[in-house]
Amino acid sequence: MKLVLLLLLVTEASCRSHSSGCEKGCDCRGDLKFTICSRASFTRLPSRVPPITELLDLSDNWISIIPERTFNTTRKLRVLLLQNNNISVVEDGAFCQLEFLQKLDLSWNQITTLSEGFSIGLASLRELQLSHNRLTTLDSRTFRHLDSIQRLNLTNNSIQTIQMRSFSSMSLLRQLHLQDNQLTSLRSGTFSMLHSLKVLNLAGNQISEAETGVFKPLASLTLLNIANNQLTTICFKTFLSIHTYSTHLLLEGNPWNCDCDLQRVFRKLRSIQRLFLDDYYNLTCSSPPDLQGYLLINVDDELCIAETVTVLIITITVIITLLAAMLMGERKRRRRKRRDSTGRSRETSQTSQTTEATSVSDLNISLFLFSRCSLVVFSGNRFLCIDICKP
């Protein structure tokens, strides 16, 4: 008991002895390497932070501005926590003296824009947390100086646009979290330099289209999450172009249009050894109306049946028409023959020639396009089926 008391007294004393270099409301520990100022009701950055501080925790305060060159006395910082403040302005060069900074947490703030000056000096930064802010656009220059970044979290902003080259300096990036934003389409080139990226999370956006080459540069991808978007269909080539050893795909929560094309795409995707459609059994149809709410897995055997039946019906109709035409031609010919046999013999051969020509041109139905996929070409009494959907 006495020992505990003594220990407490010693700690107390050591705290007080340090408090000279420590801002009121902060707790400076670990030989002044850790300065904890969370929940201290600061509205501005504290001015008295020990210069040898490596971790500065300013979370849960009311700070609203990060001025330029504000960390000029704490250049040894490795971790800077600013989450849950009221930050709306990050001035150019705010962090430019933090050359050893490895983790910066700015999540749960009010940041709407970040200019190029934001990332100046942050060449050692490995982790940047920017979730729950109000970013609408990722500018091509914002992250330009983040050469060492490995994890970037932009969850729950309002990002609609990602400019080309926004991630171009990030060849070491391993995780990119873009879930719960407002992205509507994915353009080729957006992720072009992200050769090390393992996790790409795009869940909870409004993505309805993805250009074919958009995932192609992602040579290390292990998880691609596009769940809860607005995809109605996908293109086989978009995913075929992911050249990795193994990649897990998440696609549920999209309004799938369950037709024969979609069934074919998924059948092909599932046959690719290196792709894992983890939530394939959870994909639900949104359209056509009569399939709404059904699991794709429960209807996918039937999706192409309707198409096959249509093809059959059309083919049969065509064959019947064809036979009818031939029959009628034949009957006409016979009737003429009979009539002509009573007439002169020289003219007979001529007439029969012309009739034959007419009946052949009757049969020249030439082109049929049906069910989007099959092209039927008629020529004479032969016809050719071509599947135009196959690559």
Ligand X SMILES: *[C@@H]1O[C@H](CO)[C@@H](O)[C@H](O)[C@H]1NC(C)=O
Which among 316, 197, 295, 289 has a CA at the least distance from the CA of 251? 295
Structure tokens at 283: 């994909």
Q: Is residue 271 classed exposed, middle or buried when 0-12, 13-18 and 19+ CB atoms within 10 A define those classes?
A: exposed
DSSP assignment string, 221-277: --EEE--SS--S---HHHHHT--SS-EEEE--SS-EE-SHHHHHHHHHHHT-TTEEE
Give 143 or 374: the residue with its C-beta nearer to ligand X. 143
How far, in Å, CA of 176 to CA of 226, rounded?
13
Give 153 or 229: the residue with its C-beta nearer to ligand X. 153
What distances in angstroms separate CA 109 from CA 47, 113, 322, one per listed residue?
A: 21, 12, 73
Residues 98-117 that bind ligand X (CB under 6 A): 107
Cis omega (within 30 of 0) on the bond before 288? Answer: yes
Per CB under 6 A, the segment of 173-181, 323-331, 343-351, 365-373 that binds ligand X is 173-181
Binding flag, residue 91, ligand X (CB under 6 A): no
Give 218 or 283: the residue with its C-beta nearer to ligand X. 283
Contact 200, 222 (CB under 8 A): no
Burial 191-228 (b: 16+ CB within 10 A, else e): bbbbebbbbbbbbbbebbbbeeebbbbbeebbbbbbbb
Contact 138, 114 (CB under 8 A): no
Binding flag, residue 53, ligand X (CB under 6 A): no
Binding flag, residue 156, ligand X (CB under 6 A): yes
Contact 229, 208 (CB under 8 A): yes
Per CB under 6 A, the segment of 1-9, 163-171, 275-283, 336-344 that binds ligand X is 275-283
* Rounded least distance, CB 157 to ligand X, Å: 9
Contact 154, 134 (CB under 8 A): no
Binding residue for ligand X (CB under 6 A) from 278, 314, 332, 375? 278
* Rounded least distance, CB 14 to ligand X, Å: 27
Total binding residues for ligand X by CB under 6 A? 22
* Rounded least distance, CB 69 to ligand X, Å: 5
Per CB under 6 A, the segment of 69-77, 162-170, 297-305, 307-315 that binds ligand X is 69-77
Binding residue for ligand X (CB under 6 A) from 168, 175, 212, 351? 175
Per CB under 6 A, the segment of 152-160, 163-171, 238-246, 267-275 that binds ligand X is 152-160
Per CB under 6 A, the segment of 27-35, 151-159, 309-317, 372-380 that binds ligand X is 151-159
Residues 279-308 that bind ligand X (CB under 6 A): 279, 282
Binding residue for ligand X (CB under 6 A) from 19, 38, 88, 136? 88
Give 26 or 90: the residue with its C-beta nearer to ligand X. 90
Give 211 or 278: the residue with its C-beta nearer to ligand X. 278
What distances in angstroms separate CA 69 from CA 51, 95, 376, one per listed residue?
A: 15, 6, 72
Binding flag, residue 229, ligand X (CB under 6 A): no
Helices (H), 59-102: none
Contacts with ligand X, residue ranges (CB under 6 A)? 43, 62, 64, 69, 72-73, 86, 88, 107, 131-132, 153, 155-156, 175, 177, 180, 204, 252, 278-279, 282
